Amino acid sequence: MTLETRSLHEEFIRTFYKLIQLAKIHEDNNQLLLECIEEFMQVIARLLVDDDQITLQISRGNIYLQDEKLRYRPEIDSLINNLIQYLEKRNLPGLCFFADIQDASAKEIIEFSRTLNNAEQQEDPLKWFVQQLENQGFAWAEVVYEQDAPPEDQPPEIDPQDQVQKRKEKARKSYFYALDSLKEVAGKISCQKKAGVRKTLRVIQNMVDLVMEDEPILLGLSTIRDYDDYTFTHSVNVAILSMCLGQRIGLSRTSLHCLGVCGILHDLGKLDIPIEIIHQPGKLNQSEFEEIKKHTIYSVTQIIKLQAPHDLKAKILLPPFEHHLKYDLSGYPKTNRKKSVSLFGRIITIADVFDAITSPRIYRHMAFSPDQALNIMLDGAGTDFDPILLKMFINMLGVYPIGSLLELDTGELALVMDTDTMFDGARPMVVLLAADGNGGYTRVGVADLAERDAQSGVFRRNIVKSIHPSTLGIQPAEFLI
């Protein structure tokens, strides 16, 4: 953090705390209070130059502003401690102020401050305050919950028996939080409002932690398919698959974070494609396909417009532009470049195609099963895909990737839950499923397809064929995570 940024963050803390204290003791027309509001709004304007929101959080005795820990200095120690105690008395883990606060009147700012002050006297301060935000129309502010906390400040999980379940819960929250954050960005872009990516950055950081802790859990989440919400789930899945592959090839945590952001934003340009083309139920004609091909350029344009640090945008512009170029540069958009596709671009290309061809689409209700998809992609090694990265991707997923639905010779249905490439990848660990009598399926047990009969030595279960889960209305993640 630069000295200028630190000074600005401290100024925000100082003016915010001064504001809520003055609102306790002065009337609306008090000159000191009005001057403080003006000072507070000036600081907010400076913070919102490169962001679309301001996030203030407390966690384990520290204050974070814009995900940066506020360093203790003798001059501000008392202020920091006072603000932490103030928020803790209200069970408030943090606040987020959106750019619309700049349009708020002095009266609204005073009412908000007094509402925050009054929360301490309520039986459930946090619940009451959240309700008041809605009742009084403070749409420019919201509470920051635990899921939004800076990832590096999450408490360690020390109970071994609970670790897996906690990671699964964290993974589920992270996935749907990522989905919501992407939809929020898309919604603002569609309404021609300023859009930032602070929430998206935060959840990608959480996912990087999960990739490094328990890759199979995230791979299980990447099996989520939503026919009606394809663009968003596809983008989150591509981010997950990309980060998992990046981790396999030894990328640093910082690089994985950048790669994940590239993955989740790679199709942002589709917002500029006419909706009737995106939802075209039949085959696209030539002019429609030419319009679709522009989405990679549109993605770059949209990323440039985002309110985000300039150095971050510079790092994430190229891969979304490249993800349809193909390994041999025969794809689109057509360029005169001779330089090969970047590493991140090659990774996202593989993740993008795999998720796309394993997902039912409006124009293609059937999709390839994961093992079929990998066989198809293998034919494009050296032309469409980097052959070494593709091999690493296939090794990562296994012969039958996590989430594959298998029909067994016992008549059972099985979902692949883990692929241990140290052993026979063709005989993975599976979750056994049975019809529940209501048109769905229920989990009835776990089996190792490498298990043999103790007397005969033959395998107890054998794979007959793979089936795409969507044909039976099965969402793999529901049984895996």
Q: What is the mean pLDDT of residues 108-131?
A: 95
| pLDDT at 154 (0 to 100) | 47
Q: What is the mean pLDDT of residues 143-156?
A: 56
Q: Are 480 and 220 in contact (CB under 8 A)?
A: yes
| pLDDT at 319 (0 to 100) | 97
| pLDDT at 166 (0 to 100) | 77
Q: Which residues pair with 430 in a beta bridge?
A: 416, 447
Q: Does residue 293 register a pLDDT over 60? A: yes
Cis previous bond, 333, omega within 30:
yes
- Cβ–Cβ contacts within 10 Å for residue 326, how many? 19
Q: Does residue 345 register a pLDDT over 90? A: yes
| Distance between CA atoms of residues 327 and 385, nearest Å | 5
Q: What is the mean pLDDT of residues 68-96?
A: 89
Q: Does residue 28 register a pLDDT over 80? A: yes
Q: Which residues pair with 434 in a beta bridge?
A: 442
| Distance between CA atoms of residues 375 and 382, nearest Å | 14
| pLDDT at 422 (0 to 100) | 45
Q: What is the mean pLDDT of residues 336-350?
A: 94
Q: Does residue 159 register a pLDDT over 70? A: no
Q: Does residue 266 register a pLDDT over 90? A: yes
pTM of the model: 0.73
- Identity of the amino acid at 250: G
Token output for 188? 């603002």
| pLDDT at 136 (0 to 100) | 92
CA distances in angstroms from 450 to 457, 459, 462, listed in the order given: 11, 7, 9
| Distance between CA atoms of residues 199 and 178, nearest Å | 8
| pLDDT at 148 (0 to 100) | 46
Q: Does residue 150 register a pLDDT over 60? A: no
Map tokens 């039949």 to a residue. Answer: 282
Q: What is the mean pLDDT of residues 407-422?
A: 83
Q: For a pLDDT cut of 70, what percent of the chain falls above it?
A: 94
| Distance between CA atoms of residues 236 and 173, nearest Å | 13
| pLDDT at 420 (0 to 100) | 62
The residue among 188 and 239 whose pLDDT is bigger is 239
Q: What is the mean pLDDT of residues 427-448?
A: 91
Q: Which residues pair with 407 in a beta bridge?
A: 413, 465
Token output for 161? 């028996």
Among 12-16, 187-191, 407-411, the least confident range: 187-191
Q: Does residue 87 register a pLDDT over 50? A: yes
The residue among 232 and 218 whose pLDDT is bigger is 232
Residues in the chain: 481
Q: What is the mean pLDDT of residues 14-43?
A: 95
DSSP state of 123: S
Show Cβ contacts of residue 40 under 8 Å, excluding neighbours closer than 6 positions.
15, 16, 18, 19, 109
Q: For a pLDDT cut of 90, what percent of the chain falls above it?
A: 55
Digit-coded pLDDT (tens) for 51-80: 778 999 988 788 888 878 888 788 888 899
Q: Does residue 147 register a pLDDT over 50? A: no
Q: Does residue 423 register a pLDDT over 60? A: no
Show Cβ contacts of residue 471 under 8 Å, excluding neighbours closer than 6 positions.
366
Q: What is the mean pLDDT of residues 402-425?
A: 82
Minimal CA–CA distance to 395: which of 355, 352, 350, 431? 350
Q: Does residue 4 register a pLDDT over 60? A: yes
| pLDDT at 174 (0 to 100) | 84
Candidate ranges 9-13, 395-399, 424-428; pick with highest mean pLDDT = 9-13
Q: Which domains does the chain have, with CATH numbers?
A: 3-150 (no CATH), 161-397 (1.10.3210.10), 405-480 (no CATH)
| pLDDT at 364 (0 to 100) | 61
Map tokens 């980097």 to a residue. Answer: 386
Q: Does residue 152 register a pLDDT over 50? A: no
Among 76-90, 136-150, 183-197, the least confident range: 136-150
The string of DSSP letters for 421-441 reads TTS-TTS-EEEEEEE-SSSSE
Q: Give the number of C-alpha atoms closer than 13 A to the C-alpha of residue 166, restricted to the C-beta side.
A: 13
Minimal CA–CA distance to 412: which of 461, 372, 448? 461
What integer best gives the mean pLDDT of the chain? 88
